[in-house]
C-alpha cells in the first residue's frame, strides 16, 4: 500500500488500484466531519465550518475555531486518516511525502497515524520517487522536480547517477492550487458581470457552484486522471433565484490570472536545465503554459501517467519501499529504474500535443461509469444544469438541496455520493465516486431521472 500526502488529493493506492482519493478539505456538518468532495462541495456555503490548511500546517497548533471534535490541525488529520485506515485492510503503508515536510511533521504524522490504527512502514520523498521512475537523458546529472499543493509549490533538486537522491528543496508559498482557484473565481465573476450583470460571488449558493466547476476543471480531489494540456474555454452555467445564467470564460484570461498569482514563485524557477513536473503539476490547468512563457530555456518534462498510476507502479519498480523489517525511516535515495512511466517533453516554450483521454462508454441506460475530459476534436458533453423527472426540468442545485439526491457537483460532472439509497441503472447500482454528466439516466426512490443541459443563451 502506498499513501500519498498531497493536500490537493490524499491518495491511497493498493494492489487493486486506488482505494481512496480526497482533498485535505474538512467540513463539519452537525457533529460529523467530512472530507474530499463532501467537504469541497459545501465549503463556500459554510466557510466558518471548513478548513483546508490542516495538512499544509501539520502541527498541534490550535484551529481558529473548533470543527466538531477537532481542536487543532492534527485532530483534522486524525479524522481523515480514520477514513483511510479501514481501506488499508490492516496492511502497513509506505507514505510518499512532499520534500518540504519536516522531521517534526513526520514524527507528528506517525503518532497521529498510530492513533488512527494506520500502520506506517516507512516514508519516501515524492520528488525522489518521481525522478527515479522518469525516462530522462542518460547524461542528465540533476533534475528539478516541481510539485503543486493547495497552498504552495514544492521545488526539489534531485541528483542523478545510478540513483536518484534529493539534494535540496524549496517551498514556494502562496502559489498553490488554492491561490489559483481564488484567482480564477474572480475571472469567472468578472465575466458573468460583463455578460449577465450577475455577480455569482455575492451569494453563497452561486459562489459554491463557481467553485465546484473550477475545482472539477483543476482536478481537485482526483488522482486518477492523466496529465493533459488544457487550452479550451470554459462554459459555466449557474442556477440562482429560479433562473439560469451562463457565460463562456476565455482560457487566456484564466492563464493570465495564473501568471499574475504565481509571479513571485515563477521567478524562483531556474532559467535553464531540466525540470520534471509531477503528474499533479502537469494536470493543473494553465500552469504548464505560464512556466513555458516565464522560462523558455527550461526543458520541461512530465510523467505521462496520473498520480494514481505513478503510485501503483511503485511496488513493481521499487519493491525495497515495501520490504518488511527495520524502523520507520525517510527514504531520500532510490535506484533509478527509468523504464516507465513514459515522459513527454516540452521545450522552447512549445507545448507538446495533448494526450487524449478516452471517455468511458455509456452503460445501456445512458449512465457513465467513468467520464474524463476528451482532448480530441469532438465537442465535449456540456455540464448538466437540470434533472428531468416526469417531464419537468428541475435545476440541479435545487434537486441536490431540496430533494436530497446523493450527487455532488465537480466541474461539468456530478459525482455519486453515499446516501440512504444508491442511484440505480439497468446495469445495477451506481457506486459512490461514479461520475455522471448530461445524458445519464438513473432511478432513485422509484422515480426516473435524466441529467440534461438547458441552453440559456
* pLDDT recorded at residue 371: 29
Residue 30: partners with Cβ closer than 8 Å, 6 or more residues away? none
* pLDDT band (50, 70, 90) for residue 370: very low
What single-letter DSSP state applies at residue 48?
A: G
Tell me the C-alpha distance between 63 and 79, whole Å.
14
Closest Cα partner for 217 from 129, 225, 270?
225
Does residue 450 register a pLDDT over 60?
yes
Would you say how long the chain is, in residues? 457
Mean pLDDT of the chain: 85
* pLDDT recorded at residue 200: 96
- DSSP-assigned letters across all residues of 138-186: TT--EEEEEEE-SSEEEEEEEEESSEEEEEEEEEEET-SHHHHHHHHHH
> pLDDT digit string (tens) for 390-401?
777 777 765 565
The H-or-E segment that residue 303 falls in is: strand 298-303
Longest dimension (CA), the chain: 66
Tell me the C-alpha distance between 135 and 128, whole Å.
13
> pLDDT digit string (tens) for 133-154?
888 876 789 999 999 999 999 9
* pLDDT recorded at residue 396: 74
* pLDDT recorded at residue 17: 86
Does residue 5 register a pLDDT over 60?
yes
CB 296 within 8 A of CB 349: yes
Say if pTM beats, i.e. exceeds, 0.95.
no
Only one residue has cell 457565460, namely: 247
Q: Which long-range contacts (CB under 8 A, 24 or more apart) does 154-160 make?
A: 154/98, 154/99, 154/100, 154/127, 155/268, 155/269, 156/99, 156/125, 156/127, 156/128, 158/127, 158/128, 158/131, 160/131, 160/136, 160/336
Tell me the C-alpha distance between 148 and 98, whole Å.
10
Tell me the C-alpha distance between 302 and 317, whole Å.
18
* pLDDT recorded at residue 398: 58
Does residue 63 register a pLDDT over 90?
yes
Does residue 364 register a pLDDT over 50?
no
Residue 368: partners with Cβ closer than 8 Å, 6 or more residues away? 359, 360, 362, 434, 435, 436, 437, 439, 440
What single-letter DSSP state applies at residue 430?
A: P
Tell me the C-alpha distance between 366 and 378, whole Å.
18
* pLDDT recorded at residue 229: 59
* pLDDT band (50, 70, 90) for residue 27: very high
Q: Where are the alpha helices (DSSP H) in 306-371?
A: 307-317
Amino acid at each position: 500500500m502506498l499513501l500519498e500526502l498531497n493536500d490537493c488529493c490524499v491518495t491511497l493506492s493498493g494492489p487493486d488500484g486506488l482505494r481512496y482519493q480526497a482533498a485535505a478539505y474538512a467540513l463539519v456538518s452537525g457533529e460529523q466531519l467530512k472530507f474530499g468532495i463532501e467537504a469541497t462541495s459545501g465549503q463556500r456555503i459554510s466557510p466558518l465550518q471548513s478548513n483546508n490548511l490542516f495538512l499544509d500546517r501539520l502541527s498541534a497548533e490550535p484551529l481558529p475555531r473548533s470543527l466538531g471534535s477537532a481542536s487543532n490541525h492534527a485532530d483534522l488529520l486524525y479524522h481523515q486518516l480514520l477514513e483511510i485506515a479501514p481501506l488499508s485492510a490492516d496492511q502497513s503503508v509506505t507514505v510518499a511525502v512532499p520534500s518540504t515536510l519536516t522531521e517534526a511533521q513526520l514524527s507528528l504524522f506517525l503518532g497521529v497515524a498510530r492513533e488512527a490504527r494506520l500502520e506506517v512502514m516507512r516514508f519516501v520523498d515524492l520528488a525522489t520517487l518521481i525522478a527515479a521512475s522518469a525516462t530522462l537523458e542518460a547524461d542528465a546529472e540533476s533534475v528539478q522536480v516541481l510539485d503543486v499543493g493547495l497552498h504552495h509549490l514544492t521545488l526539489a533538486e534531485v541528483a542523478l547517477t545510478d540513483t536518484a537522491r534529493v539534494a535540496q528543496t524549496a517551498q514556494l508559498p502562496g502559489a498553490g492550487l488554492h491561490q489559483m482557484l481564488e484567482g480564477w473565481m474572480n475571472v469567472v465573476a468578472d465575466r458573468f458581470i460583463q455578460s449577465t450583470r450577475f455577480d455569482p460571488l455575492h451569494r453563497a449558493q452561486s459562489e459554491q457552484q463557481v467553485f465546484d466547476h473550477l475545482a472539477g476543471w483543476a482536478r481537485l480531489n482526483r488522482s486518477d486522471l492523466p496529465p493533459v494540456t488544457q487550452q479550451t474555454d470554459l462554459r459555466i452555467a449557474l442556477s440562482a433565484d429560479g433562473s439560469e445564467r451562463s457565460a463562456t470564460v476565455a482560457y487566456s484570461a484564466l492563464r493570465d490570472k495564473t501568471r499574475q498569482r504565481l509571479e513571485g514563485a515563477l521567478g524562483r524557477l531556474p532559467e535553464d536545465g531540466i525540470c520534471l513536473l509531477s503528474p499533479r503539476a502537469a494536470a493543473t490547468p494553465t500552469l504548464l503554459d505560464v512556466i513555458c512563457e516565464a522560462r523558455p530555456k527550461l526543458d520541461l518534462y512530465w510523467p505521462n501517467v496520473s498520480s494514481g498510476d505513478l503510485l501503483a507502479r511503485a511496488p513493481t519498480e521499487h519493491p525495497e519501499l515495501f520490504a518488511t523489517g527495520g524502523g520507520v525511516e525517510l527514504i531520500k535515495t532510490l535506484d533509478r529504474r527509468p523504464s516507465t512511466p513514459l515522459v513527454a517533453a516540452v521545450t522552447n516554450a512549445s507545448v507538446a500535443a495533448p494526450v487524449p483521454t478516452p471517455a468511458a462508454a455509456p452503460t445501456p441506460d445512458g449512465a457513465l461509469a467513468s467520464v474524463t475530459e476528451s482532448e480530441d476534436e469532438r465537442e465535449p458533453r456540456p455540464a448538466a444544469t437540470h434533472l428531468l423527472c416526469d417531464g419537468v426540468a428541475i435545476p440541479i442545485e435545487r434537486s441536490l438541496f431540496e430533494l436530497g439526491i446523493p450527487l455532488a457537483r465537480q466541474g461539468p460532472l456530478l459525482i455519486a455520493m453515499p446516501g440512504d439509497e444508491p442511484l440505480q441503472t439497468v446495469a445495477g447500482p451506481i457506486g459512490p465516486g461514479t461520475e455522471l454528466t448530461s445524458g445519464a439516466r438513473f432511478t432513485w426512490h422509484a422515480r426516473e431521472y435524466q441529467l440534461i443541459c438547458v441552453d440559456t443563451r
